[in-house]
Amino acid sequence: MIDNLSTTINLCSLNFGTELDIENDVMLKLFGTDGVRGTANIEPMTAETAMRLGMAAGYHFTRGAHRHNVVIGKDTRLSGYMLESAMTAGFTAVGMDVLLLGPLPTPAVAMLTRSMRSDLGVMISASHNSFEDNGIKLFGPDGFKLSDITESKIEMHIKNGLNNHRVTALALGRARRLNDALGRYIEHTKNTFPRGLRLNDLKIVVDCANGAAYKVAPTILWELGAEVIPIGITPDGFNINNNCGSLFTDMMREQVVLHSAHLGLSLDGDADRLVICDEQGSIIDGDQMMALIGKNWHNSGILKGNGLVATVMSNFGLDHFLNEFGLILQRTNVGDRYVIEKMRKDGYNLGGEQSGHIIMSDYSTTGDGLVVALQLLAAFVEDGRPASNVFRLFTPLPQVLKNIRVPSTIICNEVLNAPSVLSAILAGKQKLDKSGRLLIRKSGTESLIRVMAEGENEVLINQVIDDVIDSIRKMIEK
């Protein structure tokens, strides 16, 4: 039997956090669980809203007499040009100088925000979403994503009007390119790899998702001595995450087997997420990655907090594995920002998500797929065994996740509080009893309800999920 696996239902508003009435200047909701996100050139991902956001954020972070500046990075989406220009206009309108980084991973923006002593950092990306979408993530001067309170204050600036925040013609900001941004991030990332180790004699497939890391990822691995087989390195503005990257791993897996590579690395569009596969092309998820890093750091005496932080989605097998070493697993709501908040509050230096967002606060203020990859590669080089042996530390419990798309006009509570849906959830709970758990939540980045069940009996958990999904579908179709 499985202990302490309780049924979990997270009921939350299905306002997808992205609606703005520009004509009436009425803020409904701008920030979601990971910044602002939506379809390009449709509110809130329009030039008008991006400019207003730039003005509001720039005004909020303008404190003191020094010359203020913001760094702006982006991934490879076509709409990045529009949003980058619009935000530049907003920042300069309130007197803030802008440093343009060009296509660069999200963690590079966080790093450069601190390195350049900037007052604010911006990443224009919709992460793993397709090219039609885009998003805006904001970082404070400490390199961390903004708190809910700060985001609310920025929204209030927009709601209250921005006319009084414009500076005089003499005080307008300037914009320029930071031409060596790629090189700075490459050196920063390489310096996280143990000195004295190299990747010589390793053949590595790396899938850059036609995204933000298409230049830096192959370069870092090559400079450390690996034979690199890069894929997803020909962005055209439309092909980011298109049958490539961390959500579409078939190409990476095929290339690993075809080239007899030692392993494969797959990044998402903004390179803050990593998924890997072993020499046989079998996927290794974030739970196994955290288990390996956590064990190694514990043995080396550098793991802080006597454990690590993960979300409610992480497999219960990870708990069992950590317990064998006297370590604990602290769980948070889904979202790397909640993991980071818990880590900062309670003094942990390792945390992450099953999806591959891994945060190592000794090296970065946010998830960094390439820094994580180098930690894993260091362990792989030192161990000497095949990847299929090194990266599989525990047997996960059967866990199934299924999604159902929900029209944005439907409110989550109306769906999940419907008698028929509640009845299906209760029935599922009773079927699982104490041998499993059920998690139902709204996606923070897409119009989806996610239904996950975990337990000893895979047939049973599939049945429970299908029953809940069916009840939600019938409610939506009414």
pLDDT at 95 over 50: yes
pLDDT at position 467? 94
Residue 63 has pLDDT above 70, yes or no: yes
- Higher-scoring residue by pLDDT: 14, 468: 468
Specify the DSSP class assigned to residue 35: B
Return the pLDDT at 13.
Answer: 31
Lowest mean pLDDT among 62-71, 168-177, 295-304: 62-71
- Specify the DSSP class assigned to residue 67: P
Q: Which residues of 44-62 are buried (b: 16+ CB within 10 A; e: fewer)?
A: bbbbebbbbbbbbbbbbbb
How far is the C-alpha of 354 from the C-alpha of 412, rounded, in Å? 24
User: Residue 26 is encoded by which pair of tokens?
Assistant: 């009425």
- In tens, the pLDDT along 231-262 reads 999 999 999 999 999 999 999 999 999 999 99
Predicted local confidence at residue 1, as pLDDT:
37
Give the per-residue pLDDT at 390. 98
How far is the C-alpha of 296 from the C-alpha of 129, rounded, in Å?
33
- How far apart CA 173 and CA 87 sit, in angstroms, is 12
Q: Are 367 and 357 in contact (CB under 8 A)?
A: yes
pLDDT digits (tens, 9 = 90+) for 148-179: 899 999 999 999 999 889 999 999 999 999 99
Q: Is 135 exposed, middle or buried (0-12, 13-18, 19+ CB in 10 A)?
A: buried
- The stretch 45-61 carries a mean pLDDT of 97
The stretch 275-291 carries a mean pLDDT of 98
The CA-CA-CA angle for residues 256, 261, 264, to 5°, reads: 55
CA 66 to chain CA centroid, Å, is 33
The fraction of the chain above a pLDDT of 90, given in percent, is: 79
pLDDT score, position 361:
97
pLDDT band at 183 (very low <50, low <70, confident <90, very high): very high
Cβ atoms within 10 Å of 321's Cβ, excluding its own:
23
Number of other CB atoms surrounding residue 168 within 10 Å: 7
Looking at residue 321, its pLDDT comes to: 97
Distance, in Å, from the CA atom of 382 to the CA atom of 73, rounded to the nearest integer, reads 35
- Closest by CA position to 275, among listed 146, 446, 391: 391
Task: Provide the pLDDT for residue 410.
Answer: 59
Average pLDDT over residues 125-139: 97
pLDDT at 445 over 80: no
Q: What does the buried/exposed string (b/e) look like for 333-357 if buried means 16 or more CB atoms within 10 Å of the residue's CB?
A: bbbbbbbbbbbeeeebbbbbbbbbb
For 17, the token pair is 């956090």
Instruction: Tell me if 110 sits within 8 A of 139, measured CB to CB.
Output: yes
> Distance between CA atoms of 413 and 296, rounded to whole angstroms?
43
Per-residue model confidence (pLDDT) at position 409: 53
Crossing angle for the helix pair 181-190 and 369-383, to the nearest 10 degrees: 30
Domains and CATH numbers, the chain: 31-180 (3.40.120.10), 197-282 (3.40.120.10), 285-390 (3.40.120.10), 397-477 (3.30.310.50)
Residue 446: is its pLDDT beyond 80? no
Rounded Cα gap, residues 145 and 125, in angstroms: 14
Whole-number Å distance between alpha carbons of 48 and 53: 9
Q: Point out which residues pair with 9 in neighbouring strands.
A: 440
Please state, rounded to an integer, the average pLDDT across all residues of the chain: 91
Q: Is the pLDDT of residue 225 over 90?
A: yes
Name residues whose C-beta falls within 8 Å of residue 191's C-beta, 6 or more positions apart in sequence: none
- pLDDT tens string 5-14: 433 333 333 2
Q: How far is CA 361 from CA 225, 309, 325, 372, 387, in A?
A: 26, 12, 21, 11, 25
Query: What does each C-alpha distance from 372 to 6, 140, 341 come to in angstroms?
Result: 31, 23, 19
pLDDT at 25: 37
In angstroms, how far apart are the furthest CA atoms of the chain?
A: 71
pLDDT greater at residue 7 or residue 381? 381
User: ω before 44 within 30° of 0 (cis)?
Assistant: yes
Which residues are designated catalytic?
Answer: 127
Residue-level pLDDT at 300: 95
Mean pLDDT value of segment 203-207? 98
CA-to-CA distance for 349 and 285, rounded, in angstroms? 19
Place of tokens 């995204």: 211
Give the amino acid at 223.
Answer: E
Across the range 393-411, mean pLDDT stands at 84
CA 436, 438, 444, 447 dihedral sign is positive
Higher pLDDT, 328 or 405: 328
Identify the weakest region by mean pLDDT among 64-68, 397-401, 406-410. 406-410
Q: C-alpha dihedral over 117, 121, 127, 129, to 10 degrees?
A: -170
pTM of the model: 0.86
Q: Rounded distance, CA 476 to CA 284, Å? A: 35
CA-CA distance, 121 to 107, in Å (whole number)?
11
Separation of alpha carbons 467 and 46, rounded Å: 39
120 or 11: which leads in pLDDT: 120
Q: At what angle do helices 47-60 and 148-160 cross, to 10 degrees?
A: 110
What pLDDT is stored for residue 20 in this prediction? Answer: 33
AA letter at 175 = A
pLDDT at 21 over 50: no
